[in-house]
């Protein structure tokens, strides 16, 4: 166990620039910006203004701890990496000390005086990756990796570099370019999750939603690969971009990613963005797409914003997959995270609820319904085309179980959602 009275600290770096220092003592966290960063840097988040110089958490309001805790994995993923490292899963600061060199986002957290080796890439063979997947959940995917890495979220993930179809693991100061996820460990309850997410992300792209590039690789176990939206460049030239998720931007504890999923908080994110009108429409379409595919896990940490020269802008969407399909044939009783009108239940959502949701985030009712109809037409067309493309197997071997799941998505949640909004009669 950690001695709560012993002060601990970490240096915060963004690329080659030191941002400041993160300290923890007696269970209170402190962020101290460096003077040089205060002069020409930027606020790490709206709740952490550099003009304050030093920000000290209180007993109930803990913006510093909430911000940095959001960089770590959640739930089982946190427990697994903590156990592998011999650290109490409740010791968030200790986990950041261990995994800060490659956490979620652009910040690098180092122990005082710690220096990382020069950037390099270490090959990750399919055989090695397959062995790590088969070792789940006894060991995390990062077990045996050359760099201690931590990614936010609940599912098992590994940060890698994909360059010319070869997988590599970053070493030293090298930045990862992709995140990979194998099938869910509970295969009986959530089968074929890798191809599920690939299909839904491809469908979103075909319907005009901004999403990251994705692929499925077989080692031979299927793994889902997604290009990191917070990276620029490839290989050793990859550079980190500064991005925050919804909980970080709103200064919320990660535990409130569902409870605080409200229209009011979507409006707050719109106001933070540099293009509120465009963000408003993008959030509407994101919510509608989640409704059509049956995604009951689209919460505040599934929205991120990139910091540009002129402010915050909504990042490409990620973590889009059909969760309701795993509740077949009762997906109609599943619920959205963000309510539509007065309901979250899929089977109860109709056009009036969509119009009410649009109104709640500042989109006129007629415009909201127009986007609903346009997206519904696109999803109906593109979901069948994408399913047919997968089943033809022109570029891959068709897995019968995967094909069955994709058909269940298209002819289950998607078709029922279309009926609900009166596109199919």
Give residue-wise pLDDT tens across range 257-270. 999 999 999 999 99
pLDDT of residue 425: 44
What is the helix (H) or strand (E) element at residue 179, kind and residue range? strand 178-182
Inter-helix orientation angle 400-409/365-392, to 10°: 160
> Which pLDDT band holds residue 324 (cuts at 50, 70, 90)?
very high
What is the helix (H) or strand (E) element at residue 384, kind and residue range? helix 365-392
> Which residues participate in catalysis according to the annotation?
297
Q: Which residues pair with 14 in a beta bridge?
A: 17
Instruction: Read off the tokens for 353.
Output: 């609820």
| Stretch among 15-24, 67-76, 157-166, 399-408 having the lowest mean pLDDT | 67-76
* Distance from C-alpha of 292 to C-alpha of 312, rounded to nearest angstrom: 28
User: Which tops the pLDDT comparison, 99 or 235?
Assistant: 235
Q: Which of 17, 2, 186 is nearest to 85 (CA)?
A: 2
Give residue-wise pLDDT tens across range 152-173. 555 788 999 999 899 999 999 9
Strand, coil or helix: 406: helix
Q: Dihedral of the CA atoms 187, 149, 257, 133 (nearest 10)?
A: 0
Q: Is residue 143 predicted with pLDDT exceeding 80?
A: no
The domains found in the chain, sorted by start residue, are 8-109 (no CATH), 120-239 (no CATH), 242-420 (1.10.1070.20)
* 178 DSSP 8-state letter: E
Q: Is the pTM of this model over 0.85?
A: yes
**How many Cβ atoms sit within 10 Å of the Cβ of residue 407?**
14
Contacts with 119 (C-beta within 8 Å, 6 or more apart), sequence order? 170, 171, 172, 173, 174, 175, 236
pLDDT of residue 38: 98
Most confidently modeled of 82-91, 228-237, 386-395?
A: 228-237
Contact present, 334 and 296 (Cβ < 8 Å): yes
Q: Quote the mean pLDDT of the chain.
A: 92
Residue 271 zone, left/alpha/beta (φ > 0; ψ -120 to 50; rest): alpha
* Distance from C-alpha of 358 to C-alpha of 365, rounded to nearest angstrom: 6
Q: Nearest-5° angle of CA 371, CA 372, CA 376?
A: 115
User: Which tops the pLDDT comparison, 248 or 72?
Assistant: 248
> Which pLDDT band holds residue 423 (cuts at 50, 70, 90)?
low
* Distance from C-alpha of 364 to C-alpha of 369, rounded to nearest angstrom: 9
Q: Is residue 272 predicted with pLDDT exceeding 70?
A: yes
Contact present, 391 and 411 (Cβ < 8 Å): no
Q: Is residue 298 predicted with pLDDT exceeding 60?
A: yes
> Which pLDDT band holds residue 1 (cuts at 50, 70, 90)?
very low
């Amino acid at each position: 166990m950690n001695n709560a009275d012993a002060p601990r600290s970490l240096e915060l770096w963004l690329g080659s620039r030191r941002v400041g220092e993160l300290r923890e003592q007696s269970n209170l966290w402190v962020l101290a910006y460096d003077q040089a960063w205060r002069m020409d840097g930027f606020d790490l988040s709206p709740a952490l203004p550099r003009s304050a110089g030093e920000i000290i958490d209180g007993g109930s309001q803990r913006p510093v701890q909430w911000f940095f805790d959001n960089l770590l994995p959640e739930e089982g993923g946190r427990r697994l990496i903590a156990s592998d490292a011999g650290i109490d899963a409740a010791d968030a600061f200790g986990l950041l000390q261990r995994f800060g060199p490659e956490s979620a986002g652009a910040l690098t957290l180092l122990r005082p005086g710690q220096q990382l080796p020069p950037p390099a890439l270490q090959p990750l063979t399919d055989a090695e990756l397959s062995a790590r997947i088969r070792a789940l959940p006894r060991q995390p995917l990062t077990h045996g990796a050359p760099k201690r890495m931590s990614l936010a979220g609940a599912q098992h993930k590994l940060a890698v570099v994909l360059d010319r179809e070869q997988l590599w693991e970053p070493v030293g100061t090298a930045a990862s370019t992709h995140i990979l996820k194998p099938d869910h460990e509970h295969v009986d309850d959530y089968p074929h999750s890798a191809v599920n997410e690939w299909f839904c992300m491809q469908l979103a792209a075909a319907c005009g939603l901004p999403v990251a590039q994705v692929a499925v690789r077989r080692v031979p176990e299927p793994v889902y690969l997604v290009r990191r939206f917070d990276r620029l460049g490839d290989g050793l030239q990859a550079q980190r971009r500064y991005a925050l998720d919804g909980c970080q931007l709103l200064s919320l504890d990660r535990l409130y990613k569902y409870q605080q999923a409200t229209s009011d908080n979507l409006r707050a994110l719109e106001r933070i963005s540099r293009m509120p009108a465009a963000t408003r429409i993008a959030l509407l379409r994101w919510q509608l797409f989640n409704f059509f595919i049956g995604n009951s896990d689209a919460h505040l940490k599934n929205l991120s914003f990139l910091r540009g020269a002129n402010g915050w802008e909504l990042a490409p969407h990620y973590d889009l997959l059909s969760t309701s399909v795993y509740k077949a044939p009762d997906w109609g009783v599943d619920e959205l995270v963000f309510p539509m009108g007065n309901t979250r239940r899929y089977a109860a959502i109709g056009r009036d609820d969509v119009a009410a949701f649009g109104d709640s985030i500042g989109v006129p009712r007629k415009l909201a319904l127009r986007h609903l109809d346009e997206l519904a037409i696109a999803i109906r067309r593109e979901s069948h085309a994408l399913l047919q493309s997968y089943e033809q197997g022109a570029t891959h071997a068709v897995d019968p179980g995967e094909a069955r799941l994709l058909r269940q998505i298209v002819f289950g949640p998607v078709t029922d959602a279309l009926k609900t909004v009166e596109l199919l009669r």
